[in-house]
């Protein structure tokens, strides 16, 4: 079986710091993979290298056996990569439906048509409204995003990531900063995603990470230190030592 994501000996060096140090892993199609580890372990830097935000210093990244190591982000998106960021990355002065419309138009030939309002494309607005409904944001789709709660912005960002119909979805701490009820809402949304979408997720909330994952990869100091099922990782004494600050 061809892996959905194949990472081979990936490294990222900043001066004398090896933020990612020879990471190799494979994620199967349809899998839910959690990437966990203490702060500074290199998880987000790894995500940046895999999704094209940063260029790796060495190593390779493949998406369904296509080498994407040095492709720009927009080309990776065309090939089926979608992602969210650790810090919400939305247009606060626009409405939720306008944010979604921009994302949808970005993958449509009509993005080259200038000077026409969103109302000229009722099908795009309809798609945007359907995406908002799918993530529980169907109410007040036209109010500015800056008036949304932080949890609602997280929901919007998930809708944006899904708007490009990704084959592989990278989620960087989707539940960070959320209340218990908001975390549960995001948890349920991710769990409900179809298995046609492979999910790779960084998450510090262990209930969320282990509750969603088929397999878990543990990073520390830029390297993979353990990998296995949630049960295997939970029973790993070295992982427990790292999380409790004893290693």
Q: What is the pTM of this model?
A: 0.87
Highest mean pLDDT among 23-32, 151-160, 199-208, 228-237: 23-32
Q: Is residue 85 part of a domain?
A: no
Clarify whether residues 143 and 104 are in a common domain: yes
Same domain, 75 and 190: yes
Q: Among 144, 165, 186, where does a domain finish?
A: 165
To the nearest whole percent, how much of the chain has pLDDT over 70? 91
Please report whether residue 108 resides in a domain: yes
153 and 194 assigned to the same domain:
no
Sign of the torsion angle spanned by Cα atoms 167, 173, 174, 175: positive
CATH of the domain at 219: 3.40.50.300
Q: Do 76 and 171 fall into the same domain? A: yes
Angle of CA points 203, 208, 212, to nearest 5°? 100
Please count the other Cβ atoms lying within 10 Å of the Cβ belonging to residue 152. Answer: 20
The predicted-structure confidence for 173-189, as pLDDT tens digits, reads as follows: 998 888 888 889 899 99
User: Is 97 a member of any domain?
Assistant: yes
Place of tokens 């899904």: 162
- Among 165, 187, 209, the domain-final residue is 165
Token couple for 235: 């029973």
16 — pLDDT class (breaks 50, 70, 90): confident
What confidence score (pLDDT) does residue 151 get?
86
Task: Give the domain extent around 94.
Answer: 90-165
Same domain, 191 and 122: no
Q: Look at 176 and 25; give whichever has higher pLDDT.
A: 25
Query: For the segment 192-233, what is each residue's pLDDT rounded down to a tens digit?
Result: 999 999 999 999 888 899 999 999 999 999 999 999 999 999
When mean pLDDT is compared across 61-75, 101-115, 199-213, 215-229, the lowest value belongs to 101-115
Q: What is the mean pLDDT of the chain?
A: 89
Q: Are 52 and 71 in contact (CB under 8 A)?
A: yes
The predicted structure's pLDDT at residue 247: 44
74 and 175 share one domain: yes
The domain boundary, picked from 135, 165, 195, lies at 165
- Domain count for the chain: 2
């Amino acid at each position: 079986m061809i892996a959905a994501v194949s990472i081979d000996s990936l490294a990222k060096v900043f001066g004398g710091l090896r933020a990612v140090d020879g990471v190799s892993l494979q994620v199967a199609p349809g899998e839910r993979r959690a990437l966990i580890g203490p702060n500074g372990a290199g998880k987000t830097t790894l995500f940046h290298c895999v999704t094209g935000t940063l260029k790796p210093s060495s190593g390779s990244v493949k998406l369904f056996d296509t080498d994407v190591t040095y492709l720009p982000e927009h080309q990776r998106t065309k090939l089926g990569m979608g992602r969210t960021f650790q810090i919400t990355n939305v247009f606060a002065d626009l409405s939720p439906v306008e944010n979604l419309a921009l994302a949808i138009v970005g993958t449509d030939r009509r993005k080259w048509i200038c000077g026409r309002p969103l109302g000229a494309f009722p099908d795009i607005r309809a798609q945007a409204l359907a995406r908002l409904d799918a993530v529980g944001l169907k109410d007040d789709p036209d109010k500015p995003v800056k008036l949304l709660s932080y949890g609602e912005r997280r929901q919007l960002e998930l809708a944006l990531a899904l708007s490009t119909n990704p084959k592989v979805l990278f989620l960087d701490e989707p539940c960070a900063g959320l209340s218990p009820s908001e975390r549960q809402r995001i948890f349920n949304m991710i769990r409900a995603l179809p298995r046609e979408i492979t999910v790779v997720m960084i998450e510090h909330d262990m209930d969320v990470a282990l509750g969603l994952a088929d397999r878990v990869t543990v990073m520390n100091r830029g390297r993979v230190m353990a990998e296995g099922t949630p049960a295997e990782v939970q029973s790993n004494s070295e992982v427990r030592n790292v999380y409790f600050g004893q290693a």
